[in-house]
Amino acid sequence: MKKRTNKLPLIISGSLLSLSQLAMAADNDKLFNLQIGIAGVANTSVYSGITEEHAFVPLVMASYKNFYFHGDTAGYRFYQTEKGSALSLELGYTSDGYNSTDGSVFSGMDDRKGAWEIGLAYETMVVGGQFSANLMQDIGESHQGLSVQFNYERPFWMGPSHMVSWYAGADFWDQERTNYYYGVNTSEVKAGRQEYKASANTSLYIGTNAVKQLNSKLALMLNAQYLMVGEAVDDSPLVNRDDQWSMLAAVIYQF
């Protein structure tokens, strides 16, 4: 099934950010940084008939001067300060979407595709943690909508070779994006699946990241996240629950 979780990119990016902070602290003189790894991901799904899903995904993060690549997103920091604030232009691909063959709930539905998106990302240090905001717009022909995400992450246990942080945030989707992935068109109506036009939606989430540096090259990364969807998603005839859990465990090698 194509859609593992609509928060998988967030999990990967947030965890790689934690790893990046730890790695940079140990070797902040390197001009080019590259980390690769493999992660096992498990999550529940809000879609009807989809209980638990599992997958192995590659993880890649690289940076060179003001350019960076974080898993599913590439960006360029065109403004940054010594105090940790930065404004970036980002390009990314979302993992949202499904095929009509992915489960009985999608039978007779048109396929929903992931999207190429472009937008702005802002980050700054706030009371001992990092606040970030992203504004992304579809530039292809899938949902053609936009999203806004706010996230705050703060370490609560940190040492020379480990860091554990908590984070929380909100993910807003406009009507076009929400309806594309959770709406039901007139042509897709059947018994037990009525027409549905979704409105804009805001989902809330909390989670934790843990990074342990095993040696100068290897690191272990863990993540757990709880997401509660908004009313517009919860009311969809494709959905039978209003929350989902996601977990990730990864081994990372730093070049």
Could you read off the pLDDT of 63-101 as tens digits, one per residue?
Answer: 899 999 988 899 999 999 988 899 999 999 988 888 888
| DSSP-assigned beta bridge partners for residue 246 | 43, 225
CA angle 4, 60, 212 (to 5 degrees): 90
- Map tokens 């990241």 to a residue: 209
* 2 part of a folded domain: no
Per-residue 3-state assignment (H helix, E strand, C coil) for 162-220: EEEEEEEEEEEECHHHHHHHHCECHHHCECCECCECCCCEEEEEEEEEEEEECCCCEEE
Cα–Cα distance for residue pair 246/7, rounded to 1 Å: 8
* 216 part of a folded domain: yes
Domain with 234, as residue range(s), is 8-254
pLDDT of 1 strictly over 50: no
**CATH number for 27:** 2.40.160
Cα–Cα distance for residue pair 106/192, rounded to 1 Å: 12
Q: Is 242 exposed, middle or buried (0-12, 13-18, 19+ CB in 10 A)?
A: middle
* 69 part of a folded domain: yes
Which is more confidently placed, 58 or 2?
Answer: 58
Q: Report the percentage of the chain scoring pLDDT > 70.
A: 89
* 118 part of a folded domain: yes
* 1 part of a folded domain: no
Q: What is the pLDDT of residue 181?
A: 95
* 3 part of a folded domain: no
Could you read off the pLDDT of 133-165 as tens digits, one per residue?
Answer: 999 999 998 999 999 999 999 988 988 888 899
* 234 part of a folded domain: yes
Q: Which of 134, 122, 60, 57 is nearest to 95 (CA)?
A: 57
Domain count, the chain: 1
CA distances from 176 to 14, 48, 80, 137, 200 (A): 26, 22, 32, 11, 8
* 96 part of a folded domain: yes
Q: Which of 63, 134, 65 is nearest to 94 (CA)?
A: 134
What is the average per-residue pLDDT within 209-226? 90
